[in-house]
Amino acid sequence: MANVSSLPRSGSIGTSHKRVVFASSLGTVFEWYDFYLYGSLAALIGKQFFTGLNETSQFIFALLAFAAGFAVRPFGAIVFGRIGDLIGRKYTFLITIVIMGTSTFLVGVLPSYNQIGMAAPVLLILLRLLQGLALGGEYGGAATYVAEHAPQGKRGLYTSFIQITATFGLFLSLLVILGTRLGLGTESFEAWGWRIPFLVSAVLVGVSVYIRMQLQESPVFQQMKAEGKGSKAPLTEAFGQWKNLKLVILALFGATAGQAVVWYTGQFYSLYFLTQSLKVDGTTANLLIAGALLIGTPFFVFFGWLSDRIGRKTVVLAGCLIAAATYFPIFKGLTHYGNPAIESAAAAAPVKVTADPNACSFQFDPVGKKTFTSSCDVAKSVLAKKGIPYSNIDAPAGTVATVTIGSDVIGSFEGASLDKATFTAQNKDFTAKVGAQLKTAGYPEKADPAQSNYPMLVLLLALLVIYVTMVYGPIAAWLVEMFPTRIRYTSMSLPYHIGNGWFGGFVPTIGFMLVAWKGDIYYGLWYPIAVALMTFVIGLFFVRETKDVPIDQ
């Protein structure tokens, strides 16, 4: 039987260890591929499965179904973490990859709303929940399995290869989608070809399952079981005893929450900022992000290796602090190099909304049915839809809102007493007036490629990705080392998936809600900055360094 003493404590990665890292990483790449497919195709999925709603509501519900996958990830961590601590790491993440692959394949063959009615969106959401549950169990298993095979002093390096998988999975999904779209043409792809990337997942997962079947159980877990030291109730031990629950809480707020917001800001919020705020063409924005990822991805391994030298805590918290300190200048740089016309127009002819603050709503309508009719809401809605930055000026109660563009003032209107047809007509007229004045003031409807500095954009985006690698490269080793073997899978998985599924996964949503609320295109950055600083402070004072901690306990 393999035991801990049989593991090398130093030296280069041997053949057997390469196989462990490759098999674990490959399977996780495929799981992330499955997960990202849905996000990339959300608009098409909305048209297929939420046909009974208007176009806006279709997309909103498709995104809510996508978010459901993030929401249930912590529950997957609990379910599969318990199984992994009871019966073993290898068989548990075999189960998770089969569930993930099967549910993804079924999305590819699921009948549309037009074929089976309301059963279609219900089944789609159930499959998304299964995907989220599986992903919640996959990461902890792969990270624990690799770390428990790693030699002392190289756990950061070994587990950093797991960290690359999310980026590779995103790349793979984009490549398959792009290849299918180009091969079939846009019309065929949107009609039925979008299903092909989902069906391809069956082949990818089959390969991964075959490779993982050749692996042996973790030697650390085998030794623990042989010595009769395994946990009979991992959930109770992990979360029912304050000694370990305290570590779980500290791991969440002092490590994974900050790591998550830095990751999602660098890889997702930046993409939406380019397309929504700066009006950069979607294909161009994706290519810019892809270029940044190519530059930044090797740093996952570098910072994993560095954490073996100077500590996990030092690298991760430094990433959180540097990101929080530089987000504003970097995103302002993206504006300067991505769409300088917006920057110039905002300086020469700033937009201001003067209104009674009590008449301004927080315009969040998840079902797309509510009409916001106050003069303030009408004005802000028009500017938000056009992606125009503006500032707010308070006016006395009862004042009808105005939009000031440079020196020109355009009056809004109160729509509460108007019938639908009249409101629509007046809103159309107001929108046209605002649009014409914005055009005169130099505000562009979309970014001009001739004015964009693509090399500088890639450089700034790559810097954001390097921040991602700082916080994400060492995190798996740090979490594994925080907890004892008998409850490691359960304990580390929950804070990781709450941090990444909840704190990180909702960065784009919360960020753009804040932007819509204040009108400042940079205001959404306050959310990831606040969370990253929270993690820096809590991690600095309350979370221990673990790089030299033995994990065969």
Supply the DSSP string of 193-222, one letter for each residue.
Answer: ITHHHHHHHHHHHHHHHHHHHTPPPPHHHH
User: What does the alpha-carbon distance between residue 32 and residue 305 come to, in Å, rounded to a whole number?
Assistant: 23
Q: How far is CA 247 from the centre of its chain?
A: 24
Residue 447 in any domain: the answer is: no
CATH of the domain at 417: 3.40.30
User: What does the alpha-carbon distance between residue 311 and residue 144 come to, in Å, rounded to a whole number?
Assistant: 18
Q: Do 115 and 134 belong to one domain?
A: yes
CATH of the domain at 166: 1.20.1250.20
Which tokens hold the place of 522? 């940079």
Q: Do 259 and 285 belong to one domain?
A: yes
Residue 9 in any domain: the answer is: no
Final residue of a domain: which of 388, 412, 439? 439
Residue 289 in any domain: the answer is: yes
**317 contact partners, CB below 8 Å, separation of at least 6:** 258, 535, 536, 539, 540
Q: Do 30 and 121 belong to one domain?
A: yes
> Quick one: which H or E segment has residue 394?
strand 391-394
Q: Which of 474, 549, 466, 492 lies closest to 160, judged by CA?
A: 474
Q: Do 376 and 323 belong to one domain?
A: no
Q: Do 202 and 246 belong to one domain?
A: no
> How many residues are present in the chain?
553
Residue 330 in any domain: the answer is: yes
Residue 189 in any domain: the answer is: yes
Q: Do 87 and 157 belong to one domain?
A: yes
Q: How many domains are contained in the chain?
A: 3
Residue 261 in any domain: the answer is: yes
Q: Do 362 and 470 belong to one domain?
A: no
Q: Do 411 and 479 belong to one domain?
A: no
Q: Do 24 and 83 belong to one domain?
A: yes
Q: Provide the domain limits for residue 107.
A: 14-227
Give the DSSP per-residue string, 222-278.
Answer: HHHHHTT---S-HHHHHHSSHHHHHHHHHHIIIIIHHHHHHHHIIIIIHHHIIIIIS
Final residue of a domain: which of 166, 197, 227? 227
Final residue of a domain: which of 167, 198, 227? 227
User: What does the alpha-carbon distance between residue 111 and residue 452 come to, in Å, rounded to a whole number?
Assistant: 43
Q: Do 327 and 476 belong to one domain?
A: yes
Written as tens digits, the pLDDT of the chain (553 aa) is 344 434 444 444 455 556 667 766 776 677 677 767 776 777 678 788 877 665 555 656 766 777 677 778 788 878 877 777 777 666 777 788 888 888 888 989 999 888 888 888 888 888 888 888 887 777 777 777 777 777 888 888 888 888 787 778 877 887 888 888 888 887 888 888 989 998 988 888 788 788 777 766 556 556 555 655 555 556 676 677 788 889 889 999 999 999 999 998 998 889 888 988 898 987 788 789 888 988 998 999 999 999 999 999 999 999 999 999 999 999 999 999 999 999 999 999 999 999 999 988 876 554 445 667 899 989 988 887 787 899 999 999 999 999 999 999 999 999 888 998 999 899 999 999 999 999 999 999 889 999 999 999 999 999 999 999 999 999 989 998 998 877 777 777 788 888 887 888 778 778 877 887 788 899 999 999 999 999 999 999 999 999 888 876 5
Q: Do 37 and 138 belong to one domain?
A: yes
